[in-house]
Amino acid sequence: MLYLVPTPIGNLEDMTFRAIRILKESDLILAEDTRTSAPLLKHFGIEKKVFAHHQHNEHKAVAEIIRFLKEGQQISLISDAGTPAISDPGFLLVREAIKEGITVQCLPGATAFVPALVNSGLPNDKFCFEGFLPVKKGRQTRMKQLSEEKRTMIFYESPHRLLKTIEEFITYFGEDRQASISRELSKLYEETLRGTLAELKVHFENNPIKGEFVFCVAGLE
């Protein structure tokens, strides 16, 4: 059995009872960064073998993990925060496990884009999740395509690229497009800012840019 186990995006109280039980019952835990996962596992008294499983080694590691699963081991995959495979490693392993007839279960739990979307006040009956836009190749092409998108769009962005992304969104979506930016979700300094792209640009030009950001942009009316 392969389990995908969500971990808190900030507040440890968001860890579920089931997630703790599954991790304690696992023969092996795969973690995006063992240094990040160690404090979490220690906090919940989870003492298991932990191997690193990240974007730089996941292609090489898949075959061996599949072998362990076929031998009957219960393996759990966690990311640094949130649900594995959502803008994090996991997809390749899940695909191969399914091909090999191995049972895969993803537990419900924390993920950043859902509370950000609900907090945004933008339409959420239909939406598209874009995650991180390409940094270079294909970035402008994708933005041009999204300029015709009618659903609310959700993006992840890092602090050092936030202002640049806002400026690019203004270019492709227009400065009056409504948007919402959430940062530090579930943490002490959680904040959600709403307004036009132009208003959000002015705010972040005049205030510190810290934390990880979820960017929701209204679709074309």
- The Cα–Cα gap between 166 and 198 comes to 8
The per-residue pLDDT for 23 is 98
Q: What is the pTM of this model?
A: 0.92
Residue 73 backbone dihedrals phi, psi, to 5 degrees: -75, 145
pLDDT digits (tens, 9 = 90+) for 134-167: 998 999 999 999 999 999 999 999 999 999 999 9
* DSSP-H helix ranges across 147-207: 162-173, 197-205
Residue 59 has a pLDDT of 84
Q: Which residues contact 124 (CB under 8 A, 6 or more apart)?
A: 117, 118, 152
Q: What integer best gives the mean pLDDT of the chain?
A: 96
Identify the weakest region by mean pLDDT among 45-54, 57-66, 67-76, 83-92. 57-66
The pair of three-digit structure tokens given for residue 177, joined into one six-digit string = 């497009």
- pLDDT, one tens digit per residue, over 37-65 is 999 999 999 999 999 998 888 888 899 99
Q: 221 pLDDT band (50/70/90 cuts)?
A: confident
The answer to whether residues 19 and 83 touch, using CB atoms and an 8 Å cutoff, is no
* 119/101 Cα distance (integer angstroms): 39
> What's the whole-number mean pLDDT along residues 177-185?
97
Q: Which residues of 144-172 are buried (b: 16+ CB within 10 A; e: fewer)?
A: eebeebebbbbbbbeeeebeebbebbbeb
Task: Specify which residues 152 forms β-bridges with.
Answer: 127
